[in-house]
């Protein structure tokens, strides 16, 4: 299996694909930094950092362009990590078929699952490198911009953000690899994960469409509706990730669970502490991991049963 | 299990849906021989090979490759078996050497070993100069030779080649066959499949002919000719200067002659024994000039044609 990891990594680092993806990562980091420059002030206010309750350093990652509250580094990452994951996985297996290297590969003393695992691990290493680069770039330059070093808690939170982003990338890569096992042509295995991503991405904005909150109803009904809305939204892995990263990076803005505006008015601005944050994103991480595992399991089963015929 | 056999199958069967593609196949390949698995397209050769390698599961029956069951212990079989698929592909962006290095790495060869063996096998197939050329620039013949190098790099005990000569020009075929013919001396058993008997018959020690998933005939190549097709009989071919019905009747009345087929100046005479002398005498006595007379040699092609005809009926 390590022979496969080695080869895949070597192939990857020499490929145009890697170069393009890396450019994308640099672009995303640049965009994130630009957003920091433009919107750090607002971000600091929103995250309560000004009042010394929030995190100054972490605000770098969620500060957005003025007027475009969704456009920040975290959101850019939410969009490009699936692209990277899909790009790493969509032709993993079917390229061996179309290149007719599959039967040669599988007539060597390797287990079939070793082939999938090797490719997955190589992809994971690449994704980790890219995400690491992006986060370090933004953290480094962001630090120079705001001049406030991170506290140890912020470093821990950032680390968990890093981990969950890798899991999120692995999820998309797993999906793409499953498609590459099922579909013989790269066109199909590329298109389907992309379409799924677009659907899940749009899904984040559709909650209020599916379950409108009736503002004339009683508070209890409204809370019920909001809860239902949230359950629906959580079907989307993109939303799961988005929710988790806000708990980690900007816990004031978005504590989990429904807070009615009536309640919010009485809320003391008090961010979740680290333990609480981790506790509340734990199900998200587990959810993303188990979805990846399901994709993987299906890939295994399908791949094991496939006949390897070189024609 | 007799360890003199590199490959042994018992009632090996494979179905795709309701179609039986390989039907109760029984055959064996002796160690250090070249065995030709022959048959028309769609006969089930590739399917049989895939089952030998554990790349597809048989519906029923037993396979033993070098003493192992390829479905239970696929890795043990694959460690000592080299397989050249019907249409072999390489990683196009990698050089010949890099492609081989990857295979060596998968076989857990050490670096030093890898290096020396790559040089050795590339030399064998005559690709030393193309060592550092990307395989996307390779011609069909070069690919096929690189495929052989790729198969040999793990120093296999058994080599399975699926249609190794297809798509090659005559020179390429000869080159390839020379390499194959040399393998048994290196302690390597070879099984190759082909739908073109002529191309491979010179290197095969034994053959098996597969038609519609059934092995219709198998055995050492030199004893297969006359017995199997002629039923132990001789066919004597006579060419004269002019056709003559009377001559045909005379020959028919000769003791030991079973049948005479006359068409134009040619007669094809089926006999129990070699009656060339008697027939020549009769022809000469009848004052018809004898152009030539010979015992028909049964080539494997006749064997092949016979079974192909049967399979088409
Ligand atoms: N995956 C498959 N599903 C159904 N039929 C198949 C499949 N693969 C091969 N066949 C059929 O099995 C038969 C034998 O194929 P194959 O072993 O490739 O023949 P050969 O190698 O002798 O040309 C053919 O008739 C082919 O159509
Ligand atoms: Mg075939």
| Model confidence pLDDT, tens digit, residues A251-309 | 764 444 444 444 544 555 556 678 888 888 888 899 999 999 999 899 999 998 888 88
- Residue B74 has a pLDDT of 92
Cβ contacts of residue A176 below 8 Å, gap of 6+? A85, A86, A87, A88, A89, A90, A92, A189, A190, A193
Smallest Cβ–Cβ distance between B87 and the set A14, A109, A311 belongs to A311
Can you give the pLDDT at residue A159?
94
Q: Side-chain half-sphere of B128: how many Cα atoms within 13 Å?
A: 7
Q: What is the pLDDT of residue A256?
A: 46
Cross-chain CB nearest to A107 (options B83, B90, B92): B83
The predicted structure's pLDDT at residue A226: 81
- Cross-chain residue pair A103–B91, CB shorter than 8 Å: no
Across the interface, of A109, A111, A310, the residue whose CB is closest to B86 is A310
Q: Would you call B27 an interface residue with chain A, using a CB distance cutoff of 8 Å? A: no
pLDDT one-digit tens code per residue, B190-203:
999 998 877 788 89
Average pLDDT rounded to a whole number, residues B209-225: 82
Å between B136 CA and nearest CA of chain A: 11
Sheet holding B189-194, edge to edge: B81-84, B158-162, B189-194, B34-38, B206-211, B214-220
Chain B residues within an 8 Å CB radius of A4: 106
In a domain, A310, yes or no: no
Q: What is the pLDDT of residue A219?
A: 80
A&B contacts, CB < 8 Å = 76
In this structure, the number of other CB atoms found within 10 A of the CB of residue B18 comes to 5
pLDDT, position B226: 57
Segment B121-146 shows an average pLDDT of 94
Count the domains in chain A.
Answer: 1
Residues near ligand 1 with C-beta < 6 Å? A 307; B 16, 21, 39, 41-47
User: According to the model, what pLDDT value does residue A259 have?
Assistant: 47
Task: Please tell me the least confidently modeled range out of A61-65, A267-271, B139-143, B240-244.
Answer: A267-271
Asked whether residue A200 is domain-assigned, the answer is no
Question: Is position A259 within any domain?
Answer: no
Band of the pLDDT at A45, cuts 50, 70, 90? Answer: confident
Residue having the nearest C-alpha atom to atom 9 of ligand 1 = B47
Mean pLDDT taken over chain B:
88
Residue partners of A156: CB distance under 8 A and separation at least 6: A274
Domain assignment of residue A230, yes or no: no
List the beta bridge partners of residue A212.
none
What is the model's pLDDT at position A260? 46
Q: Pinpoint the alpha helices (H) of A183-311.
A: 186-203, 207-210, 219-233, 237-249, 261-266, 274-305
Give the per-residue pLDDT at B293: 86
Q: How many whole angstroms separate alpha carbon A25 and alpha carbon A132?
A: 10
CA neighbor of B158 nearest in space, from B32, B28, B71: B32
Find chain B residues with C-beta within 8 A of A309's C-beta. 46, 50, 56
pLDDT given for residue B297 in this prediction: 66
pLDDT given at position B200? 80
Torsion of CA A156, A161, A167, A172, to 10 degrees: -170
**Consecutive H or E run containing A26:** helix A16-46
Average the pLDDT over each of A44-48, A306-310, B268-272 and give the range with the smallest value. Answer: A44-48
Mean pLDDT score, A165-182: 96
**Subunit contact A109:B103, Cβ cutoff 8 A:** no
Q: Is residue A196 part of a domain?
A: no
Q: How far is CA A140 from the centre of its chain?
A: 21
Provide the pLDDT confidence category of residue A248 given band limits of 50, 70 and 90: confident
C-alpha B85 – ligand 1 centre gap (Å): 14
Q: Ligand 1 centroid to B57 CA: how many Å?
A: 14
Identify the nearest ligand to the CA of B44 by its number: 1
The secondary structure element, H or E, covering residue A311 is: none
| pLDDT of B308 higher than 90 | no
Which positions in chain A touch B93 (Cβ < 8 Å)? 11, 14
Count Cα atoms within 13 angstroms, Cβ side, for B159.
29
Residue B7: phi and psi, rounded to 5, are -130, 135
CA distance B290 to B239: 6
Question: Which residues of A sit within 8 Å Cβ distance of B?
Answer: 3-4, 6-7, 11, 14, 99-101, 103-111, 307-311
Determine the residue of chain B that is closest to A102 in CA distance: B89
Q: What does the pLDDT average to over A28-45?
A: 85
* Domain annotation covers residue A280: no
pLDDT at residue A298 in the model: 93
Query: What pLDDT score does B279 carry?
Result: 87
CA quadruple B19, B23, B28, B29: dihedral sign? negative
Per-residue confidence (pLDDT) for residue B300, from 0 to 100: 64
* Confidence band of A311 (pLDDT split at 50, 70, 90): low
Does A157 have pLDDT greater than 50? Answer: yes
Nearest Cα residue in chain B from A103: B85
Residue-level pLDDT at B82: 96
Quick check: B49 contacting A, CB < 8 Å?
A: no
Q: Is A86 contained in some domain?
A: yes
Q: Which pLDDT score is estimated for B223?
A: 67
User: Which residue in chain B has the smallest CA separation from A99?
Assistant: B89
A165, pLDDT greater than 70 = yes
Q: Mean pLDDT over all residues of chain A?
A: 86
Q: CB–CB of B78 and A107 under 8 A?
A: yes
Q: No. of H helices and E strands in chain B?
A: 11, 13
> What domains sit in chain B, N to C, each tagged with a CATH number?
5-225 (3.40.50.300), 232-295 (3.30.70.100)
- Pick B268 or A267 by higher pLDDT: B268
Ligand closest to the CA atom of residue A305? 1
pLDDT for residue B128: 95
Q: Residue B301: its pLDDT value, please?
A: 65
Query: Rounded to the nearest whole angstrom, what is the distance from the C-alpha of residue B178 to the centroid of ligand 1?
Result: 29
Which of B63, B96, B53, B43 lies closest to B211 in space, CA to CA?
B43
Please indicate whether, in this complex, the C-beta atoms of B107 and A109 are within 8 angstroms of each other.
Answer: yes
Nearest CA in chain B to A309: B50
> pTM of this prediction?
0.84
Q: Counting Cβ atoms within 10 Å, is residue A74 exposed (0-12), middle (13-18) or buried (19+)? A: buried
Strand B19-30's sheet: what is its strand order? B19-30, B5-16, B60-65
Interface test with B, best of A16, A108, A112 (most B CBs within 10 A): A108
Other beta carbons within 10 angstroms of residue A234's beta carbon come to 16
A57: in domain: yes
What whole-number percentage of chain B has pLDDT above 90?
A: 55
Query: What span, in angstroms and rounded, lies between the C-alpha atoms of B94 and A104?
Result: 15
Residue A49: per-residue pLDDT:
56
- The DSSP symbol for B162 reads E
What tens digit of pLDDT does each residue of A193-245 get? 999 999 999 988 887 777 777 777 788 888 888 888 888 888 899 999 998 98
Output helix, strand, coil percentages for chain A, rounded to the nearest 5.
Answer: 75, 0, 25
Percentage, residues of chain A above pLDDT 90 = 52
Question: Which domain does A183 fall in, by range?
Answer: 2-190
Distance (Å, rounded) from C-alpha A155 to C-alpha A141?
Answer: 15
Burial A13-43 (b: 16+ CB within 10 A, else e): eeeeebeebbebbeebbbbbbebbebbbebb
């Amino acid at each position: 299996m390590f022979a496969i990891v080695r080869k895949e990594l070597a192939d990857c680092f020499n490929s145009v694909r890697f170069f393009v993806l890396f450019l994308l990562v640099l672009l995303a980091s640049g965009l994130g930094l630009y957003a920091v420059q433009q919107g750090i002030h607002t971000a600091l206010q929103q995250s309560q950092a000004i009042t010394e309750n929030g995190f100054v350093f972490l605000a770098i990652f969620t500060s957005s362009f003025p007027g475009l509250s969704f456009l920040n580094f975290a959101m850019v990452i939410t969009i490009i990590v699936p692209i990277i994951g899909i790009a790493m996985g969509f032709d993993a297996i079917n390229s061996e078929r179309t290149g007719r290297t599959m039967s040669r590969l599988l007539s060597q003393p390797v287990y079939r699952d070793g082939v999938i695992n090797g490719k997955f691990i190589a992809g994971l290493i690449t994704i980790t490198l890219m995400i690491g680069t992006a986060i370090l770039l933004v953290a480094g330059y962001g630090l120079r911009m705001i001049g406030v070093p991170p506290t140890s808690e912020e470093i821990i939170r950032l680390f968990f953000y890093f981990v969950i982003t890798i899991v999120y990338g692995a999820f998309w890569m797993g999906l793409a690899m499953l498609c590459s096992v099922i579909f013989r042509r790269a066109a199909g295995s590329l298109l389907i994960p992309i379409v799924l991503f677009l659907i899940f991405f749009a899904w984040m904005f559709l909650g209020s469409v599916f379950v409108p909150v009736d503002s004339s109803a009683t508070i209890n009904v409204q809370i019920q509706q909001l809860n239902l809305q949230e359950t629906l939204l959580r079907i989307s892995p993109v939303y799961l990730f988005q929710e988790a990263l806000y708990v980690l990076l900007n816990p004031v803005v978005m504590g989990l669970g429904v807070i009615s505006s009536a309640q919010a008015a009485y809320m003391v601005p008090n961010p979740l502490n680290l333990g609480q944050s981790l506790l509340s994103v734990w199900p998200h991480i587990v959810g993303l991991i188990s979805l990846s595992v399901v994709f993987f399991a299906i890939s295994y089963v399908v791949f094991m049963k496939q006949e390897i015929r070189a024609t | 299990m007799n360890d003199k056999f590199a490959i042994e199958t018992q009632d090996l069967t494979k179905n795709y849906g309701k179609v039986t593609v390989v039907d109760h196949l029984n055959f064996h390949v002796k160690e250090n021989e070249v065995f030709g698995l022959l048959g028309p397209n769609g006969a089930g050769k590739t399917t049989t090979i895939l089952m030998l390698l554990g790349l597809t599961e048989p519906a029923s029956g037993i396979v033993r490759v070098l003493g192992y069951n390829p479905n239970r212990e696929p890795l043990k079989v694959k460690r000592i078996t080299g397989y050249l698929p019907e249409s072999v592909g390489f990683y196009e962006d990698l050089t010949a050497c890099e492609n081989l290095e990857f295979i060596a790495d998968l076989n857990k060869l050490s670096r030093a070993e890898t290096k020396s063996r790559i040089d050795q096998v590339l030399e064998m197939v005559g690709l030393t100069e193309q060592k550092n050329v990307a395989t996307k620039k390779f011609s069909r013949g070069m690919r096929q030779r690189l495929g052989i190098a790729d198969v040999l790099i793990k120093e296999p005990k058994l080599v399975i080649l699926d249609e190794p000569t297809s798509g090659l020009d005559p020179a390429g075929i000869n080159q390839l066959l020379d390499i194959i013919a040399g393998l048994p001396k290196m302690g390597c058993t070879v099984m190759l499949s082909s739908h073109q008997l002529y191309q491979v018959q010179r290197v095969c020690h034994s053959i098996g002919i597969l038609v519609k998933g059934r092995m219709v005939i198998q055995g050492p190549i030199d004893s297969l000719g006359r017995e199997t097709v002629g039923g132990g009989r001789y066919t004597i071919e006579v060419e004269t200067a002019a056709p003559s019905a009377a001559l045909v009747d005379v020959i028919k009345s000769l003791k030991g002659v079973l049948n005479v087929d006359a068409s134009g100046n040619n007669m094809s005479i089926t006999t129990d024994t070699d009656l060339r002398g008697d027939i020549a005498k009769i022809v000469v006595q009848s004052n018809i000039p004898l152009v030539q007379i010979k015992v028909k040699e049964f080539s494997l092609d006749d064997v092949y044609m016979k079974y192909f005809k049967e399979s088409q009926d």
